[in-house]
Structure 1
Amino acid sequence: MKRNINYLFRALVAAFAVVTLVLTNLTVLQREELMSAAANSRRLAGWDNQSRRGGIYDRSGEVLAQTESAGGPRRYRDSWAFGPVLGYLNPRLGASGVEARYAAVLTGRPAVWSALGLSFPLTGRGEDLILTVDRGVQEEAMRLLAGKKGAAVVLDPRSGAVLALASRPAFDPASVAQEWEKISKDEDAPLLNRATQGLYPPGSTLKLLTLATVLSRQPAAGEQRYNCPGKLVLPGYTVHCPRAHGDVDLAQALAVSCNVTFAKLGLAAGNPALAEEAEKAGFNKAVPFDLPTAVSSFPRGRPGAGETAQRAIGQGEVLATPLTMALLTAGIANGGSIMRPYLVQERRLGALVVDDTVPQKLSTFVTPDTAAAITRMMVGVTQHGTGRSAALPGVAVAGKTGTAENPHGAPHAWFVGFAPAEAPRVVVAVIVENGGSGGGAAAPIARRLLQTALEVVRQ
């Protein structure tokens, strides 16, 4: 009998521990995720009625969103360009974007509050958010993408601070409730944040990955020459170039975006090596970020030669978000280190700074020497290669174009790059869906964004 009571006691203690862990997980660890769910509209409305929701400001302190009194309406200033960042907020529809991700702090309820079962706010007001986003760069990105489907990411490679996160088509947070019926049924998906959740074949921009894989393992490869006869016939797939490029070195091959050369490089390296390098750049795992992100994929394994060659030039089964391609490019710009991207610089309660984001290293992509070698080749792309439309007067721009084949229509146009090449301060990734040539459709947009962002990030 005594033994049975002992067993029962232990079982009850174990059950209690499990329940405690589950509740802790829900109320603390998963609290932000649950609070950011768009379907959680009842809790959202109740919280906002009890406290004055905190404001959201751009990096210079300009108002983006404000609430003047407890339970009062959310007011947005010139918000047409900020749907991809701010998201929406409505008692009936719920919330998305920054409004959802930071619902707890905006309404004045720290994580421990929910764990204690307390539903009222800690203070009569929520915290204010100071974003890393610059109003001018964000508006310029949205203007440049107007009338198109696509996205643009602009960030500082040294810190990971996001200066702009643009996605088109989009919605205006100020009028989303009135236009919900139209927006929610729009086949062009304005509610989809293409910058963080759009998955596309990266095309020739992924040749930077292939280049990184080769140079990381064989530094001398940069001094070798390769022959391009115009096509490479493989089992089940033929790699084509617009013309026969003849004998080229790696810098020349990147400048003219030679598919044959990079397919050969990918075959020599093998898919396992390419996938390993891709994962260093953020593929095959969720990017830790303030907003929901789709997982960019570079499948592992040992596929056939045709598929391996396609992956080496950014086709086949490879898919990437613009954010992932921006981070890969930032890894090169930042001497091989990829910094964790972030949108919120500070959280404030009145004049008190509650939290100030400290830049964190996310991963090591390549060595400084390899990053420097790739940078030199990328400068050639904008000086005399396919990316000349991204060149800036008096500023060396390092870049790479991409024209990604699309089975559903015209190719997607890509450009990734950074400036100044010798001391990078700004990285940009641009995609224009069905835009055709990366050099024709995406590079000019990237040029304008680099120019605008460099005026903001002066040091």
Structure 2
Amino acid sequence: MTENIKRLGYFLLFIFVTLILYLTYLVMAEGESLARHPQNQRMAAKEAGIIRGTIYDRTGIELAETVWHGKSGERVYLKQGNLTPFSHVTGYVSQRYGSFGLEASYSKELLGLTEADAVENLLDGILNRTPRGNDLVLTLDTALQKTALNALGDRKGAVVALNPQTGEILVLASFPTFDANAIDNPGLWQQLNQDHLNAPLLNRATQGAYPPGSVFKVVTGTAILEQKILEPQDKIQCPGYAVINGQRIADNGVHNNVNFNQALALSCNTYFALEGSQLSWGQFENTFNQFGLSEKPSIGIPIRAGTLAAKERRNKSQLAESSFGQGDTLISPFQMALACAAIANKGTIMKPYIVKEIKKPNGKAVSVTENSLWLTATNPAVAEQIAQGMIAATNWGTATAASIQGIQVAGKTGTAETAESQGKGQPHAWYVGYAPAENPKIAVAVIVEKSGSGGRIAAPIAREIFSAALARSDI
């Protein structure tokens, strides 16, 4: 009998200790993420009596603010026509559907519920004041965001722009978008979730998974140059196709004898297929990783990491196709903007960010994001060689539609085949580039889904972004 009681006691003690350890784990390891979870009802209950902080763009324009009606507040988002241009970034706050975007990831800051706000919250309680959260100041630019969306028009796609010297993200535009002000409308919510054809809730800028086409040649070119597969001045013969492992790979034309710069400027698939297939998959993947294409940098909104072919599909033919951005390679516009920024910034990638500052309602800064180095994609000599090819593409190659009089632009176009476009559909139109080439202030990535060639469709959109940004002194 005594032995059974001991066993029961040990068992209960074990359960008790296990429970304590589990609760400790929840508090210490998962507490922050649980507190910030969009479906956390305790956070929603607290929010009912708090004036949520305002979200501003880089110029002080209010992107999201709380309008107080008596004892309750209504979240209001900046509108452009019938849509809110920053819906995929700022996200939304909904009593029915939780929160999303920066509204979710910075919820505690916007509600003033961080440890740094504890004293002020105590005073609010003592003095019976309505608590007010902190404000966010973003790096995004409303004028450039609207320019990007207007340039896309009613075409599905995305535009990303950033400062390659600082990592500040200037534009994250995705279309179709939605009206965050009407998110609590049950009919709209159902419509948004059931519209699988247009996927308006998908942030194509950071979560879109696209074959990059020829814009990926800036990455493959880096690997070819670093591994010294051949020298930049060496020429190869392009008859308009390449044969790899018995597979014929078509080109966009007969380019005859081309060196590295000419191949990049003319977007010669033959050159990159032949030379890229001489790399090992390990070398190819290493360069992919050097550019951060397999990473998901933390910027406050979801990002899809770029992907290469699964290991079981990695043969020489797949490597050749991947070398000019086809095969199984899938990348988002955000990732390609970072790759372009690496070339613009002499081989280094600054850590990208959206939130520049968190500040009190009185304007006092709580925290300020400092510019910092993120990755080294390549060395300055290789980056300069790629840059020269991109300048040639703009001056006399496939990217002339992005050129601006009086400003040297460096760019690369892409026309990415999809499963549908190999039948009767149109390919995706891509463009990546930066300007001014000698002192880059802005790097841009554009994709327009199933619309045609990158030089004809995507490059003019980038030109509009370049022109609008470089006409200002604050960019």
Normalising by structure 2, we get a TM-score of 0.88
Q: Is the 8 A contact 2:309 2:327 kept in 1?
A: no
Moved more, 188-197 or 166-175: 166-175
Structure 1 distance, partners of 2:237, 2:352, is 39
Cα offset for 1:76? 2.2
For the residue of structure 2 that corresponds to 1:67, the secondary structure is strand
For the residue of structure 2 that corresponds to 1:137, the secondary structure is helix
Structure 1 distance, partners of 2:88, 2:10, is 57
1:372 match: 384
Q: Does 1:340 align with 2:341?
A: no
- The match for 1:24 among 28, 50, 56 is 28
For the residue of structure 1 that corresponds to 2:308, the secondary structure is coil
- The match for 1:327 among 334, 338, 341 is 338
Q: Is the 8 A contact 1:329 1:416 kept in 2?
A: yes
**Where do residues 117-136 of structure 1 align in structure 2 (5 Å cutoff)?**
124-136=131-143
Q: Does 1:269 align with 2:279?
A: yes
1:184 match: 193
Structure 2, gaps ≥5 residues long: none
Structure 1 distance, partners of 2:147, 2:40, is 32
2:95 match: 91
Q: Does 1:50 align with 2:49?
A: yes
Q: Does 1:65 align with 2:72?
A: no
Q: Does 1:175 align with 2:182?
A: yes
Q: Is the 8 A contact 1:410 1:434 kept in 2?
A: yes
Structure 2 distance, partners of 1:250, 1:397, is 19
Q: Is the 8 A contact 2:34 2:40 kept in 1?
A: no
Q: Does the C-alpha gap of structure 1 residues 422 and 113 become closer, same or farther in structure 2, counting only changes over 3 Å?
A: closer
1:361 match: 373
For the residue of structure 1 that corresponds to 2:292, the secondary structure is coil
Q: Is the 8 A contact 1:150 1:168 kept in 2?
A: yes
Q: Does 1:157 align with 2:161?
A: no
Moved more, 296-305 or 445-454: 296-305
Cα offset for 1:231? 1.0
Structure 1 distance, partners of 2:107, 2:376, is 32
Cα offset for 1:59? 0.3
Q: Tell me the amino acid that sits aligned with residue 64 of structure 1.
A: L
2:452 match: 436
Q: Does 1:242 align with 2:252?
A: yes
1:80-136 CA distance string (max 9 Å, x none): 31212221221112221221221111111116899xxx9x99981110011101110
Structure 2 distance, partners of 1:394, 1:112, is 50
Q: Does 1:102 align with 2:102?
A: no
Cα offset for 1:283? 2.5
Structure 1, gaps ≥5 residues long: none
Q: Tell me the amino acid that sits aligned with residue 181 of structure 1.
A: Q
Q: Does the C-alpha gap of structure 1 residues 264 and 439 become closer, same or farther in structure 2, counting only changes over 3 Å?
A: same
1:123-172 CA distance string (max 9 Å, x none): 81110011101110011111111210000101001111111100000012
1:292-349 CA distance string (max 9 Å, x none): 0112112475822211100001001100000000001111111111112111111111
Normalising by structure 1, we get a TM-score of 0.91
Q: Tell me the amino acid that sits aligned with residue 184 of structure 1.
A: N
Q: Tell me the amino acid that sits aligned with residue 189 of structure 2.
A: W
2:307 match: 297
Identity %: 37
Structure 1 distance, partners of 2:468, 2:101, is 24
Structure 1 distance, partners of 2:19, 2:183, is 46
Q: Does 1:417 align with 2:433?
A: yes
Q: Does the C-alpha gap of structure 1 residues 84 and 7 become closer, same or farther in structure 2, counting only changes over 3 Å?
A: closer
Structure 2 distance, partners of 1:307, 1:236, is 12
Q: Is the 8 A contact 1:154 1:428 kept in 2?
A: yes
For the residue of structure 2 that corresponds to 1:171, the secondary structure is coil
1:378-421 CA distance string (max 9 Å, x none): 10001000000000111111110000001123200000000001
Moved more, 139-148 or 282-291: 282-291
Q: Does 1:212 align with 2:228?
A: no
Q: Tell me the amino acid that sits aligned with residue 51 of structure 2.
A: R
Structure 2 distance, partners of 1:109, 1:299, is 44
Q: Is the 8 A contact 1:65 1:74 kept in 2?
A: yes
Q: Is the 8 A contact 2:95 2:184 kept in 1?
A: no
1:194 match: 204
Structure 1 distance, partners of 2:249, 2:474, is 43
1:34-65 CA distance string (max 9 Å, x none): 42x3xx16345323212100001110111111
Moved more, 122-131 or 317-326: 122-131
Q: Alignment length, in residue pairs?
A: 449
Q: Does the C-alpha gap of structure 1 residues 251 and 51 become closer, same or farther in structure 2, counting only changes over 3 Å?
A: same
Q: Is the 8 A contact 2:242 2:270 kept in 1?
A: yes
Moved more, 188-197 or 297-306: 297-306
Q: Does 1:453 align with 2:460?
A: no
Q: Is the 8 A contact 1:238 1:306 kept in 2?
A: no
